[in-house]
Amino acid sequence: MNEVWEAIAAIGTVGAVITSVAFGVFEGFRARRDRRELISVRAATDAVAAAAGEAERIAVASLVTAWVTDEYAYVASASTYSRTVTLRIANESNEPVVNVTVGVYLGSENRLIGPLSTPSPIPVIPPRREFEWDITAGVGAYDDNTEPHVAISFTDARGRRWQRRLDGTLADPEELDTVRLAQDDPELAVAQIGVPDRYRNPMAVARAFAEELWADRSTFDLTAFRTLLDPLASGWSGNWDEERVDQLRELLQNYSNLAALTWYSAPRVAYARLLSDDTLQQITERRGGVLIEVYFITLVYRSELGWTVFGVGPKLRPDQILFPESDF
């Protein structure tokens, strides 16, 4: 009888072992399943956090945009249409953006023609604000001007630099567009200057002024040089002879490079820049924002003369320049 109970006990022991093994296998399976679920949950959580971090990172930048509007209005008195080209920048975020730089481009080759009448840089665009600038005069200095578009770079409140590209997409600093530089491409430099018409293009006058200024004395044309000077600028008054031109050459002897891009502070006031060789090398090496020393050629538009050179030296504001009513 004891043998029977022992056999039963043995069977019970084996059953316990089998149950224990089965339970262990089940527990192992459940533990592995739980680990997989935990890993999956963590991965999902990390993905959500990464997405939230990315959304937060671009939250301000994604709401900063720039575009150009090109509009025509019929003028009955002239029996034609007038054109107005306006550059607009909007910051729809709740934070300011700073150090905004602007580039206006023309054509399918994306030829940079400068900031034109927009400040460069724009110190700050406040939250929920939109600014606009009339760039009609600047665009009008080029024949192929039917497709003006804009790219901007700016810094958000966290110090991150961004670029809104020509196609409207947003780029990280590591993905910023490379801009062709005029000093690398002589054909581009000529294209950036615009048409050789002093009634449309202030750079045409600035270029003629620089070429005469640095011309060999055997080819220098004093009469042609005088026609470029603004008759209402007191600095050009009196008899401008070759001796006075030589004094101007001496003042500007280290600034014999004319930058290709024109700036405008008003529809009838524009600026070209004379750069030194050292400054030109500095720009070439840095390929970006850098403070440089320049001489400004201030140009003004006169109704009967077209663009003229008002002064050379510091940049003169429009309110520092006399404009008779006949100019408007």
Helix, strand or coil for residue 231? coil
The mean of the pLDDT values for the chain is: 81
- Where residue 102 falls among pLDDT bands split at 50, 70, 90? very high
CATH number at 231 reads 3.10.450
Does 322 lie in the same domain as 234? yes
Does 161 lie in the same domain as 70? yes
Q: What is the DSSP letter of 74?
A: E
Residue where a domain terminates, one of 175, 201, 226: 175
Highest mean pLDDT among 112-116, 186-190, 258-262, 284-288: 112-116
Residue where a domain terminates, one of 139, 155, 175: 175
Residue 213: per-residue pLDDT: 87
CA-nearest of 317, 320, 310 to 229 is 310
Residue 16: per-residue pLDDT: 47
- The pTM of this model reads 0.74
Domain that holds residue 246: 182-327
Taking the C-alpha atoms of residue 47 and residue 37, their distance in angstroms, rounded to an integer, is 15
Does 88 lie in the same domain as 152? yes
Bigger pLDDT: 278 vs 16: 278
CATH number at 130 reads 2.60.40
Q: pLDDT tens across 135-157, in order?
A: 999 999 999 888 899 999 999 99
Does 228 lie in the same domain as 166? no
Q: With contact defined as beta carbons under 8 Å apart, do 204 and 191 qualify? A: no
Q: pLDDT tens across 191-202, in order?
A: 888 999 999 999
CA-nearest of 122, 154, 118, 111 to 138 is 118
- What is the number of domains present in the chain? 3
Q: With contact defined as beta carbons under 8 Å apart, do 82 and 118 qualify? A: no
